[in-house]
Structure 1
Amino acid sequence: MALLTLSGITTGRGRRALVEGFDLTLHAGRVCHLSGANGTGKTTLLEVAAGLRTPWQGQVTAAAARHWLGHRNGLSAALTPMENLQAWCDLQADVSSAPAEALRALGVYPQRHRPCRQLSAGQRRRTALARLLLAARPVWVLDEPLDGLDVEGLELVATLVNSHIAEGGALLVTSHQPLPGSIAAVQTVDLRSP
């Protein structure tokens, strides 16, 4: 079943086209890894796929709710992980899990009451990734989700992704580093400079 379809997408930054005539169908149970050098439009294309940016041409068809996680963590440095997640929950209509449980699953529960500015880069990234567990959205659109993670964190992400796709979800992801080899059902699409 197709959860997300990009048809004839052309988009870019400023007046410069980065992606032209791009087609992609993301099916349930699949992972699509967009790869390519800096400046090839990976983040811009993900923003289009997530519904955050309107393409210059083409159409995005989302058959399911989408989760967006950008390469920036989107956390307030002054707030704790618990406060950051609760603030996110307060803005959502489809929250189905508690912040404490998500932080436990990502291994940052012991740091839940420390300001995020005092956390390591990996702990901040894990806190941001915890948002994925707060609302059941079938399509995850993730920009550089592995940044700042150690080996244990990488395997944790692989476990989360495998569980998500086993339950019928799908993932569209960019990463300059290889995805953990334990992630199943990966299709790699290489974006080249136009």
Structure 2
Amino acid sequence: MTVLDTPLLALEELTVQRGEIPLCEGVALELSAGSICHLIGANGTGKTTLLMQLAGLLPVLSGEVTYQGQSCLPIQPLYVSHQLGIHPNLTVAQNLTFLLNLYGITPSITDIDDALTWVGLQGFETISSSHLSAGQTRRITLARLYLLTPDLTPLWLLDEPFTALDVDMVARIEARLRDFAQAGGSILMTSHQAVGVANQVLDLSDYMV
């Protein structure tokens, strides 16, 4: 297999496990550049747990995970959790700046303005995040997608990115996911609704213990 043929992310005989309780066993996946995989499964199959394992937030106790053919983590995946991780004491602009700093990005004022405009939060830059609705708070976390590119974060792990969004915003996010994949990025995401841009499906129900 050449470097160009090597999947960006590959799972082999992976156990999805939180604590001492295995939820799924033998999970297999190959995710190549340009792929958008919809991660589905019944409640309790460990969709969020799997994303957290791949993001390095939970250990992989059994099975193999390779990134670009390496067993270590040579790339920094973007992980967008349904647990928002927004600091209520910071302004909208400060929160977005903090989230981008985690990936080595120091955004300009124009970057912040453009990203917040993209998610419909123009004019919210100096507002305390504690005053936002759930949907508005979700948009801060998603504003990162506007500025991150495959050369910075080639793998996106998205946990329910469409939660609390209106139809227009969902369409805007889907268009961004498509553009990111076409530029060579890869996405593994959960969603309780159909994902029209997905070209792969991984059903964890097939691997339940």
Change (3 A) 1:60 1:122: same
Q: Give distance in 1, aligned partners of 2:105 and 2:123.
A: 26
Whole-angstrom distance in 2 between the partners of 1:90 and 1:31: 25
Name the SS of the counterpart of 2:161 in structure 1.
coil
- Counterpart-to-counterpart distance in 2, 1:70 and 1:85: 15
Partner of 2:72: none
Inter-partner Cα distance in structure 2 for 1:65 and 1:140: 9
**1:147 CA drift (Å):** 0.6
Q: Which residue in 1 is equivalent to 2:63?
A: 58
1:78 aligns with 2:89: yes
Runs (5+) with no aligned partner, structure 2: 69-74
3-state SS of the aligned residue for 2:17? Answer: strand
Instruction: State the one-letter code of the partner of 2:18.
Output: R
Aligned: 1:125 with 2:138: yes
**Aligned 8 A contact 1:140 1:171 in 2:** yes
Contact 2:18 2:58 in 1 (8 A): no
**Gapped regions of structure 1 (runs ≥ 5):** none
User: Does the Cα contact within 8 Å between 1:95 and 1:134 map onto a contact in 2?
Assistant: no
**Deviation, structure 1 residue 188:** 1.6
Match of 1:109 in 2: 122
Report the equivalent of 1:20. 25
SS of 1:111's partner is coil
1:67 aligns with 2:78: yes
| Closer/same/farther in 2, CA of residues 122 and 189 from structure 1, 3 Å limit | same
Partner of 1:162: 178
Moved more, 89-98 or 43-52: 89-98
Distance in structure 2 (CA, Å) of the matches to 1:22 and 1:29: 21
Identity %: 40
In terms of fraction of residues, the more strand-rich structure is 1
Q: What does the per-residue CA deviation read over 1:118-139, in whole Å, with 9 as the maximum and x for residues that have no partner?
A: 2222211111011233443111
Q: Encode CA deviations 1:19-50: one digit per residue, 9 max, x unaligned.
A: 21111111111111111121111011111122
- Contact 1:19–1:45 (Cα < 8 Å) also in 2: no
Deviation at 1:55, TM superposition (A): 1.0
How much does 1:94 deviate? 4.5
TM-score by length of 1: 0.89
Which deviates more, 98-107 or 88-97?
88-97
How far apart, CA to CA, are the structure 1 residues paired with 2:14 and 2:33? 21
Contact 1:6 / 1:49 at 8 angstroms: preserved in 2? no
| RMSD, aligned α-carbons | 1.9
Kindly indicate whether residue 192 of structure 2 is the aligned counterpart of residue 187 of structure 1.
no
> Which residue of 1 is the match for residue 71 of structure 2?
none
CA displacement, residues 28-83 of structure 1 (integer Å, 9 cap, x when unaligned): 11111111121111011111122222211112212243111111111112222101
For 1:95 and 1:78, locate their aligned partners in 2 and report how far apart those are by CA, in whole Å.
20
Aligned amino acid, residue 101 of structure 1: D
